[in-house]
Amino acid sequence: MPSLLISIVIYNKPIKELLLLKSLKNDEDKIDIFIYDNSKLPQEVPTFENVNIYYEHDENNSGVSRAYNQAYKKAKELNKKLLLVLDQDSSFELSFVEQYMKMHQVYKNDYIYAPIVCDEKKTKIYSPAFMSNFVGKVQSFEEFIYEETYSLVGKSVINSGLMIPLEIFEKIGGYNEKLRLDFSDVYFIEKYKELNSKIVLVNVYLKHSISGDEGKDFAREYSRFRYYCSACKELERALNTSAFWSSSRRLIRLVLKYKRLSFIKIYFEYYLKGKEIWRFQYVWLPIMVKSILKNS
């Protein structure tokens, strides 16, 4: 796979525990992997046979968009033509790459390539998903219809598992680094749609968990909501559109879920007023919120 760089973004995850590295076999071809570590402390990089690991640590936890842009720069430096981006918990096996490369031989650099992302029990299709007013809606696994060139009209795909030709990455202009997590993929795919309304859907299944499917965790969701509201505001600016329904829907869901009105203040400050999140807030606020709630 000389033309491909695989990128994995991690946060508080030991490199040796990555599912992709666990799936390696001794007879695999030489592969290049770029690991972007958003954890507070750096870690020692283990060695694997037939694997070149390029490691970048970011103690500021700058988010996935910057990580993907840095991966693109590394791919350019290594004279790669393709970049495959992965989440640390996606069940991606190296054997899947063969399917991607077969598709690329047919469709070349005119498309982004995406897997089918589903839940553990294969009841829901998380990606591709329906998208309306920047609100995603899963597809039923049983009713899902596979098409090799798949229309993104009224739909979108998540970041994890995307194989992006560097030519397309350059035309889009990369990821928006102000969208550290929420809407990172939405922005990138909306910009891609300006070039092509279809993706190539690779017939492989990634099992993946989506935020919101894990049950109740007030501290985490309370902290995350201000980033979500801030991201809605940035998405509006970047795409010259409205994310009012997306932000309002999330507010209603959280108020009803936790019976707490404190979410309204966050909505007012970070979405309606457009208050910016400082770097200090982004790195330390989630930890502080959890600590305060634990001791109250």
Please name every residue paired with 155 in a beta bridge, in sequence order, or none if there are none. 130
Q: Enumerate residues 6+ apart whose C-beta is below 8 A from 81.
A: 3, 4, 109, 165, 166, 167
Q: Which amino acid is at 45?
A: V
SS3 291: helix
178 neighbors 234 (Cβ within 8 angstroms): yes
User: Tell me, what's the pLDDT at 42?
Assistant: 95
Rounded CA separation 57/84 (Å)? 19
Cβ(183)–Cβ(98) below 8 Å:
no
CB atoms within 10 A of CB 75: 25
Rounded Cα–Cα distance for residues 125 and 40 (Å): 33
Domains delineated in the chain: 4-207 (3.90.550.10), 218-295 (no CATH)
CA pair distance 134, 80, nearest whole angstrom:
32
Residuewise pLDDT in 10s, the chain (296 residues) = 789 999 999 999 999 899 888 877 765 678 999 999 999 999 999 988 889 999 999 999 999 999 999 999 999 999 999 999 998 888 898 889 999 999 999 999 999 999 999 998 899 999 999 999 999 999 999 999 999 999 999 999 999 999 999 999 999 999 999 999 999 999 999 999 999 999 999 999 998 766 555 568 899 899 899 999 999 999 999 999 999 999 999 999 999 999 999 999 999 999 999 998 865 444 444 444 444 444 44
Euclidean distance between the first and final Cα of the chain, in Å? 53
Whether 33 contacts 61, CB under 8 Å = no
In order of 161, 213, 287, the CA distances from 139 in angstroms are 18, 15, 34
- Please answer whether residues 156 and 136 qualify as being in contact, where contact means their C-beta atoms are separated by less than 8 angstroms: yes
pLDDT at 178: 94
What count of other Cβ atoms lies within 10 Å of the Cβ of residue 11? 15
Residue 193, token pair as written in the block: 């749609």
User: What does the alpha-carbon distance between residue 296 and residue 291 come to, in Å, rounded to a whole number?
Assistant: 9
pTM of the model: 0.89
Residue found by looking up tokens 């009224």 in the block: 154
What amino acid is encoded at 187 in this protein? Answer: Y
CB-CB contact of 114 with 201 (8 Å): yes
Residue type at 268 in one-letter notation: F
Cα–Cα dist 257/221, whole Å: 11
